[in-house]
Amino acid sequence: MKATIQFIRKKNLKAALHERRKMRVRKKVDGDSATPRLSVFKSARHIYVRAIDDTTGATLATASTVDKELKADLQGQKKVDAAAKVGALLGQRLKDKGVNKARFDRNGFRYRGRVAALATAVREAGLEF
């Protein structure tokens, strides 16, 4: 690992390590129409999740903290609570489309905090991982 990282500038080291974690997870997780891949992205302020059918490249459902349905409810809440509401919304949208199983792609982010809260809320909405 040191040999490949030593030539990367210190400024880009964090991004390179994140990309490596992302690819490690991504090569194991693949979605289809029956079990879509739930891809999570989080920024400093917002969290986004989408259900992807990798065979066709289509997005089946999305949810985020900038959704019109959730934006008013999330005013003044903590980010972990907001992520849980986003997960519940995505779970409900997938259940409405008849999807019961999914595969969770944490996209290189650690499974804790907002990512874990989102995954737990999706499970509570009735989806299986």
| CATH number of domain containing 43 | 3.30.420.100
Residue 2 CA to residue 16 CA, distance in Å, equals: 13
In a domain? residue 129: no
Confidence at residue 66, expressed as pLDDT on a 0 to 100 scale: 95
Residue 36 CB contacts under 8 Å (≥ 6 apart), including other chains: 51, 52, 53, 60, 94, 99, 102, 103
DSSP state of 11: H
Kindly report, residue by residue over 34-44, the tens digit of the pLDDT. Answer: 889 999 999 99
Q: Please name the amino acid found at residue 108.
A: G
In a domain? residue 9: yes
Q: Which residues of the chain have pLDDT under 50?
A: 1, 3
Confidence at residue 1, expressed as pLDDT on a 0 to 100 scale: 47
Query: Computed from CA positions of residues 82, 124, 91, 119, in that sequence, does the dihedral angle turn out positive or negative?
Result: positive
In a domain? residue 77: yes
Residue 126 CB contacts under 8 Å (≥ 6 apart), including other chains: 91, 95, 100
Q: Is the pTM of this model over 0.85?
A: no
Residue 98: domain span: 2-124
Kindly report, residue by residue over 3-26, the tens digit of the pLDDT. Answer: 455 555 666 888 888 888 888 888
Residue 22 CA to residue 26 CA, distance in Å, equals: 6
In a domain? residue 66: yes
| Number of domains forming the structure of the chain | 1
**65 contacts 46 by C-beta, under 8 angstroms:** yes
Confidence at residue 78, expressed as pLDDT on a 0 to 100 scale: 95
Helices and strands (H, E) in the chain, number of each type: 5, 4
Residue 35 CB contacts under 8 Å (≥ 6 apart), including other chains: 99, 101, 102, 103
